[in-house]
C-alpha cells in the first residue's frame, strides 16, 4: 500500500502510555483515531491502537523519519503521559498493512493479558504486537520470527 524510498527503511515502534483522558469516552477515542488516520495516510504509517482502562498500547510501522515526527507529536500530546517506548526496530514488512490506524477491541478475555504486558512494560513488545495482531486479524506468529 505504501512505498518507501530506499533510504527510509521500514521500522516498527511499540509504546505504551498512561491516558490523561477518559479512555471509556468513545468521542475522545474516535477523535484520536480520526486525526491518526488522517495523518497516517499522509505519512505512510500503519498500525493498531489498544485502549483499556486508563492506558494506551500502540504499534506503528512506516518510514523512520515519519515515525520520528509522530513520536515528537505524541510527546507533546496532553491526552497521555509517561510514554514508554518498548521497541523500535527495522522490519522487513508491515504486520498491519491495511490499517492506517485500527482500534484493537479489547475483550474481557484479552484485557488481563494486555494489562500484564503493560505492567511488565519492558518484557516483551513482540508479545504485545502479537496480541494486537491476533485481535485485529486473527493471525499470529509473524512477530517472533523477524530479525531484530
Alpha carbon distance 104, 134 (integer Å) = 9
**73 contacts ligand FAD (rule: CB under 6 A):** yes
Nearest alpha carbon to residue 13 among 54, 76, 72: 72
Separation of alpha carbons 119 and 25, rounded Å: 23
Which residue shows C-alpha cell 510514554?
83
81 part of the interface to ligand FAD, by CB under 6 A: no
Distance (Å, whole) CA 143 – CA 39? 25
Comparison of 73 and 116: residue with beta carbon closer to ligand FAD: 73
Query: Of 10-69, which residues contact ligand FAD (CB under 6 A)?
Result: 31-32, 35-36, 39-40, 49, 56, 58, 60
Taking the CA atoms of residue 32, residue 37, residue 43 and residue 45 in that order, the dihedral angle to the nearest 10 degrees is 90
Taking CB under 6 A as the rule, does residue 77 contact ligand FAD? yes
80 lies in the binding site for ligand FAD (CB under 6 A): yes
Among 10, 13, 86, 101, binds ligand FAD (CB under 6 A): 101
* Contacts to ligand FAD by CB under 6 A: 31-32, 35-36, 39-40, 49, 56, 58, 60, 70, 73-74, 76-80, 101
Amino acid at each position: 500500500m505504501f512505498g518507501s524510498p530506499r533510504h527510509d527503511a521500514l521500522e516498527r515502534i511499540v509504546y505504551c502510555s498512561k491516558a490523561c483522558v477518559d479512555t471509556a469516552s468513545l468521542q475522545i477515542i474516535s477523535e484520536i483515531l480520526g486525526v491518526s488516520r488522517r495523518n497516517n495516510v499522509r505519512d505512510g504509517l500503519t498500525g493498531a491502537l489498544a485502549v483499556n482502562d486508563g492506558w494506551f498500547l500502540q504499534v506503528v510501522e512506516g518510514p523512520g523519519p515519519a515515525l520520528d515526527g509522530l513520536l515528537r507529536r505524541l510527546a507533546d500530546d496532553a491526552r497521555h503521559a509517561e510514554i514508554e517506548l518498548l521497541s523500535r526496530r527495522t522490519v522487513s514488512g508491515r504486520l498491519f498493512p491495511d490499517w492506517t490506524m485500527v482500534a484493537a477491541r479489547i475483550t474481557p478475555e484479552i484485557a488481563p493479558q494486555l494489562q500484564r504486558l503493560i505492567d511488565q512494560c519492558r518484557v516483551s513488545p513482540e508479545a504485545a504486537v502479537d496480541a494486537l495482531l491476533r485481535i485485529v486479524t486473527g493471525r499470529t506468529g509473524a512477530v517472533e520470527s523477524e530479525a531484530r
